[in-house]
Structure 1
Amino acid sequence: MSRIGKKPVAIPSGITATVDGQTVSVKGPKGALSFAVHDLVSVENTADGISVQPRDESKKARSLWGMSRTMVSNLVVGVSKGFERKLDITGVGYKAAVQGKKLNLSLGYSHDVVYDIPEGITIACAKPTEILVSGIDRQKVGQVAAEIREFRGPEPYKGKGVRYSDEFIVRKEGKKK
């Protein structure tokens, strides 16, 4: 039994949620999102909020149950509060700057890395060594943060590179004589 899936998703005031067949649409102050739930899971709008139940007791239906509830919950949180990921840049001369709809990264290569910011995502650089990726779609925010981190991932010897702010890098000792 899914402990997450049992709880209905509460809908706060100021947010409207509609269930049309297998599609859940949510509108709020930050925007509108929708999610198509898998056919093995049933979705209905109740007095408590949006409840998700598996259609049968198959392993696939039970595994999709909790995931579908979490996806609907992410829609509600996204249109009300939004999501953000913070990235830190470590290394001499490594920096980032936002120029219009592009993120310009100096990461120790012979050229600057230019990243086009996708629609629905906001990137801010309070300091040249901090990047804040924010938006209403949790999956998109995480994907953009992962793509930026991929340009120069953190290395274990000096810790140089782009890393998540809550990420811990296990450091290695290096060569000895």
Structure 2
Amino acid sequence: MSRIGRKPINIPVGVDVAIDGSVVTVKGPKGTLTQSFNPVITIQKEGEEILVTRPDDQKESRSLHGLTRTLVQNMVLGVTEGFSKTLDVQGVGYRVQKQGKDLVMNLGYSHQVIVSENEDIKIEAPNQNTIVISGIDKQKVGQFAAEVREKRPPEPYKGKGIRYQGEYVRHKEGKAGKGAKG
């Protein structure tokens, strides 16, 4: 039995969960999330808990068991607390600022890179070297953060670029590090 899959999911106060076959809808103070799951896995609401069960020990069922439970848990956490990713911008002259609903980034290109927030994602720039991306859907927050990071990923020689907060970028020596002949 999956250790993660068999844990019940507690439903906090103020959260409404509706299960219609394999479609789960979670409403909470921050918004509403709806997602459909594989019909092999059974999702039931019992009192103030959600239970995820599998019919057999087939490989596919075992794989989906823990995944389904984690996705439902993330939906419940998203509508109550929300998710956020923090990105750090490092480099001389690299900076970000918020203008209306757009994030304007100077990343060493000849032009500014502009990214707009959408209805699911909120962008904040508390200072000129930090970007905070937040929303209720964990997958969308992570994907959007990856797309912003892709605008200038960290490079290994000087460490310049956009990186996740706490991300370690291994530095390489340049051409001079090989040992000079002569």
Alignment of 1:60-75 (within 5 A): 60-75=60-75
Between 1:145-154 and 1:38-47, the stretch displaced more is 38-47
User: Percent same amino acid at aligned positions?
Assistant: 49
TM-score, normalised relative to structure 2: 0.94
Q: Which runs of 5+ in 2 are unaligned?
A: none
Between 1:35-44 and 1:47-56, the stretch displaced more is 47-56
Between 1:117-126 and 1:78-87, the stretch displaced more is 117-126
The CA distance in 2 between the partners of 1:98 and 1:139, in whole Å, is 23
The CA distance in 2 between the partners of 1:63 and 1:166, in whole Å, is 30
Deviation at 1:128, TM superposition (A): 0.6
- How many corresponding residue pairs? 177
In the other structure, the counterpart of 2:175 is 175
Q: Which runs of 5+ in 1 are unaligned?
A: none
Q: Secondary structure at the match of 1:87?
A: strand
- Which letter does structure 2 place at the counterpart of 1:30? K
The CA distance in 2 between the partners of 1:7 and 1:47, in whole Å, is 15
In the other structure, the counterpart of 1:119 is 119
In the other structure, the counterpart of 1:139 is 139
Deviation at 1:69, TM superposition (A): 0.3
> What value does the CA root-mean-square deviation take over the aligned residues?
1.0
The CA distance in 1 between the partners of 2:163 and 2:109, in whole Å, is 17
The CA distance in 2 between the partners of 1:48 and 1:101, in whole Å, is 38
In the other structure, the counterpart of 1:89 is 89
Q: Is the 8 A contact 1:40 1:56 kept in 2?
A: no
Between 1:131-140 and 1:51-60, the stretch displaced more is 51-60
Query: Between Structure 1 and Structure 2, whose CA radius of gyration is higher?
Result: 2
Q: Is the 8 A contact 1:19 1:45 kept in 2?
A: yes
- Which letter does structure 2 place at the counterpart of 1:106? N
Deviation beyond 3 Å, 4+ runs, structure 1: none
Deviation at 1:16, TM superposition (A): 1.1
The CA distance in 2 between the partners of 1:102 and 1:148, in whole Å, is 12
Between 1:125-134 and 1:14-23, the stretch displaced more is 14-23
